[in-house]
Structure 1
Amino acid sequence: MNKMIKIFYTLASRICCCLLIAGSAIAQTDTTQHVINSRKNSKDHLGKPYVILISADGFRHDYAERYQATHLLRLSMAGVRAASMVPSFPSVTFPNHYSIVTGMYPSHHGLVNNSFLDEKSMERYSMGAKNKVREGKWYGGTPLWVLAEQHQMISASMFWVGSEAEIKGLRPSRYYDYTEKISVEKRIAVIKEWLSLPEEKRPHLITFYLSEPDHAGHSFGPDAPQTRQAVKLVDSVIYELSEAIKPLGLPINYIFVSDHGMTAVDRERPIARPTEIDTAKFIIASSGTMMDIHAKNKADVAGLYALLKASEQGYKTYLKSEMPAHLHYGSSDDRMNRIGDILLVSDWPRVFSNRKPGIGHHGFDPQVVKDMHASFMAWGPAFNSGVNIASFENVNVYPLVAKILGLSYSEKIDGHIEVLAPILKK
């Protein structure tokens, strides 16, 4: 195994250990593979192509060229490369990973932020609360692995937002709970094992998540040598994966994406929580690049809005009903009533924080801050070769994967197959 892969695993493990020490519940020690042995591919799917959907968290749209990810650049030259992939708002991890696999904006599928309040139940969801992450009630839409299993097509997940939960009564046939305790070498070996299974048990859809270069970008900033190294390490992982699988001779299509980009923020002028917000009357569900405020009594909304609007500095104040339409984050979009009554959206490069913030952040409006844009590359027998395309929204990946795998769907989504159909061979 490539030495850089081992470095990648060591770096990720150290970071996760630090998170655990800090009280985070993100990293888990359960390394068990969950398998539903009773399932098998229907005869209609035998001989169909395969898709490995890979996400490198925080892999900004320009990282591959900027930091010379030579393997990814070479592989995508034989396939398709987008100028960028535009994340949904807010441009943070959980909402966007789930938008990629549902074809829906966050306000439509329900994961409206990494942490949020559900007003109907008055329960909070948080990406660090594993008991919440594994509850299917939080997840709307039909993720790609559920769509596949509904069609009696085997799917497998080496981590993805939502894959640990039972959604519409289904999980992937094979999956792992998220953990950094499994080495990258082992992860690649597992994916190869999945694709070496007898045809009736072999997954046609595999999701594969990598936590870098997001950790490096947050800790050191997008311009740091540590982030360059993290990009190089991801590049090596993709190379090792493709080389490990190549001898199997299967018609495998690789789709490499990220959830968002990364930008350096103003660390010297953080925006403190406005003193006008009375926490006895209001709940702040999330902060960072956007402060999400829920009123315990809706009669108090207008008064606080007027105070915040009059004193805003470094941020813009919106009622949920007046959020810019291009964000798809207003009252008419909030299908599960999980978006706050008042939203304070910080002006780049400033963020909300009561102490000196970290160097790198994401979450800003991607139409305003280009650094938020993500990556998209694809190669394999389904794709045209040597194609460069314009930027597009990430909700369009869902119909693309469904098309490659021959999966139909009736649920209304926000993505459109017409956007990416031209990159497929006829």
Structure 2
Amino acid sequence: MKRSLTTALALAILPLAAGCAQQVETIASAPAAVAEQRERMTILVSIDGFHPDYLDRGLTPTLSTLAAGGVTASMRPSFPTKTFPNHWTLVTGLVPDHHGITANRMEDQGRPEEPFTMATVDPYWWNEAKPVWVEAEEAGIRSAAMFWPGSAVPWGGTAQGWGPVSDGVLPSDWQQFSMQISNTQRVNAVLDWARRPADIRPEFVTLYFDTVDTAGHDGGPDSEEVNAALRDVDSHVARLTAELRKLGQPADLVIVSDHGMAATSSERVIALDEVLDESLYRLVEAGAYATFEPTEGNEKALVKALVDTDHANMECWEKSAIPAKYQYGTHGRIPPIFCLPDTGWTITRSRPNNAWTGGNHGFDMYAPEMAALFIANGPSFPAGRELASFQNTGIAPLLRHLVGLPQADRADGTLEPFLPVLPQAK
């Protein structure tokens, strides 16, 4: 019997349809594609000026959760308790007296007309100690810096003054610091790096927040400005961790600060013009400490006026006699005379005309107000562990361990503070 064209077409299509159905069933029943097995990242986060007691204010639920679910400690900064010296210590493992970034503002006999400021990226000032990201790059471990003091410096390069740098090592990815780049943009940059293909994805990353420190200077450590900054930074850390989880990106977070913050005011001021003839000296730095160069022929007179005289709320030393506990005073960039006020006091040229309050750091590294934050959370760390207080020279050895680098031959810090929670490092 002759089949209709419609029937013939239907019969012809049936095997094809059955085959398609079988194919669809096979695809549907196949196991889902295996998720990418991502290599663990190490992310070093600095929250400038974050005192560990800030966690007790109930304003930082994310940081508090990371602390409770990881390892935490009150960390002692190095001296002086300033931003650039301590950030360079954190990534080199050397105290400022040994790594050469001895202050936020420095002078050097080799560059008498070019003082160092926090905008200086000439390798001349930075080349005395190698940061972890340079060690990583040299070992073939890709690094990236979303800000960090010194991360925009071609380490090991050479330059004359502000001229071009001839060579040097930088992180594979880095950005020049700008306060115009918001905390959201900073976190986005780190997440964008984490989303990259494995061959160009960094294994070691730095991330820097400056807003808590700025608020502390402006309003003091107990101000609403600080509280607002704490909420903001915590929300950005929350977004960072949430997005890393979505990516399935394992990460060891090492969250630190460089120092704490002490309350200051115009009622606690040491006016130099009230205790010292200004013809005897040139002031290099003032504030939470002061450093002096004697004018020509006035070395002995300046020592007598500052070092050999008792001053209320301030102690002064020749650099060679700075107490050994500070590990400070041998480097050529440290001026001849150093004065340290009581914590919370400010050294100024003259007494201010207007009343003011605020916050500052740079004081005694052992002062409770100068304590720094340490939180470590991730697959390399156990939960719910608190370590004894340790000096921040230990952070670079910890980072080397996490990234897979050998420990440095030249170091002021070791892994010893972390052995209770890193038994595999013994």
Could you state the TM-score of these two structures normalised by the residue count of structure 1? Answer: 0.82
**2:16 equivalent in structure 1:** none
* Among candidates 49, 60, 69, match of residue 69 of structure 1: 60
Equivalences for residues 232-381 of structure 1 within 5 A? 232-274=231-273, 282-295=281-294, 297=296, 300-308=298-306, 309-310=308-309, 312-331=311-330, 334=331, 337-353=332-348, 354=350, 355=352, 358-367=357-366, 369-381=367-379
CA contact (8 A) 2:280 2:302 kept: no
CA contact (8 A) 1:67 1:231 kept: no
Partner of 1:375, secondary structure, is: strand
**2:169 equivalent in structure 1:** 170
**2:48 equivalent in structure 1:** 57
**2:111 equivalent in structure 1:** 121
CA shift in 2, pair 1:296/1:143, >3 Å: farther
- Between the aligned partners of 1:105 and 1:143, the Cα distance in structure 2 is 13
Q: What is the CA deviation profile of residues 314-365 of structure 1, one whole-angstrom value per residue up to 9, with x for unaligned ones?
A: 211101111010101123xx2xx00111111112231112325641111110
* Among candidates 120, 139, 153, match of residue 151 of structure 1: 139
- Between the aligned partners of 2:410 and 2:145, the Cα distance in structure 1 is 24
Q: CA deviation at 1:92?
A: 1.1
Unaligned runs of 5+ in 1: 1-45
- Between the aligned partners of 1:178 and 1:425, the Cα distance in structure 2 is 37
**2:90 equivalent in structure 1:** 100
Q: CA deviation at 1:67?
A: 4.0
**1:138 equivalent in structure 2:** 125
Give the aligned residue type for 1:302.
K
- Greater mean deviation of Cα atoms: 384-393 or 262-271: 262-271
CA contact (8 A) 1:218 1:358 kept: no
- Between the aligned partners of 1:124 and 1:284, the Cα distance in structure 2 is 16
Q: CA deviation at 1:422?
A: 2.5
- Greater mean deviation of Cα atoms: 408-417 or 70-79: 408-417
CA shift in 2, pair 1:323/1:291, >3 Å: same
CA shift in 2, pair 1:123/1:374, >3 Å: farther
CA shift in 2, pair 1:185/1:371, >3 Å: same
**1:414 equivalent in structure 2:** 412
Equivalences for residues 182-221 of structure 1 within 5 A? 182-221=181-220
Q: What is the CA deviation profile of residues 77-106 of structure 1, one whole-angstrom value per residue up to 9, with x for unaligned ones?
A: 111111x11111111111111110111111
Partner of 1:203, secondary structure, is: coil
CA contact (8 A) 1:49 1:405 kept: no
Q: What is the CA deviation profile of residues 245-270 of structure 1, one whole-angstrom value per residue up to 9, with x for unaligned ones?
A: 21222221001110110111242141
Give the aligned residue type for 2:124.
K
**1:110 equivalent in structure 2:** 100
- Greater mean deviation of Cα atoms: 84-93 or 65-74: 65-74
- Between the aligned partners of 2:288 and 2:122, the Cα distance in structure 1 is 27
* Among candidates 71, 79, 86, match of residue 70 of structure 2: 79
Partner of 2:49, secondary structure, is: coil
Partner of 1:115, secondary structure, is: coil
- Between the aligned partners of 2:280 and 2:142, the Cα distance in structure 1 is 49
Aligned: 1:160 with 2:155: no
Percent same amino acid at aligned positions?
Answer: 34
CA contact (8 A) 1:98 1:143 kept: yes
CA shift in 2, pair 1:194/1:262, >3 Å: same
Aligned: 1:403 with 2:390: no
CA shift in 2, pair 1:417/1:311, >3 Å: closer
Structure with the greater alpha carbon radius of gyration: 2
Q: Aligned residue pairs: how many?
A: 371
- Between the aligned partners of 1:293 and 1:126, the Cα distance in structure 2 is 16
**2:12 equivalent in structure 1:** none
Partner of 2:144, secondary structure, is: strand
Q: CA deviation at 1:278?
A: 5.9
Unaligned runs of 5+ in 2: 1-36, 157-167
- Between the aligned partners of 1:269 and 1:419, the Cα distance in structure 2 is 37
Give the aligned residue type for 1:282.
Y
Q: CA deviation at 1:419?
A: 1.7
Give the aligned residue type for 1:152.
G
**1:40 equivalent in structure 2:** none
- Greater mean deviation of Cα atoms: 200-209 or 242-251: 242-251
CA contact (8 A) 1:64 1:231 kept: no
- Greater mean deviation of Cα atoms: 349-358 or 254-263: 349-358
Q: What is the CA deviation profile of residues 345-400 of structure 1, one whole-angstrom value per residue up to 9, with x for unaligned ones?
A: 11223111232564111111021x20100100010001111111111101100000
CA contact (8 A) 2:50 2:259 kept: yes
Give the aligned residue type for 2:294.
A
**2:164 equivalent in structure 1:** none
- Between the aligned partners of 1:230 and 1:416, the Cα distance in structure 2 is 33
- Between the aligned partners of 2:278 and 2:112, the Cα distance in structure 1 is 15
CA shift in 2, pair 1:156/1:232, >3 Å: same
Consecutive aligned runs of 4 or more in structure 1 exceeding 3 Å deviation: 123-128, 274-282
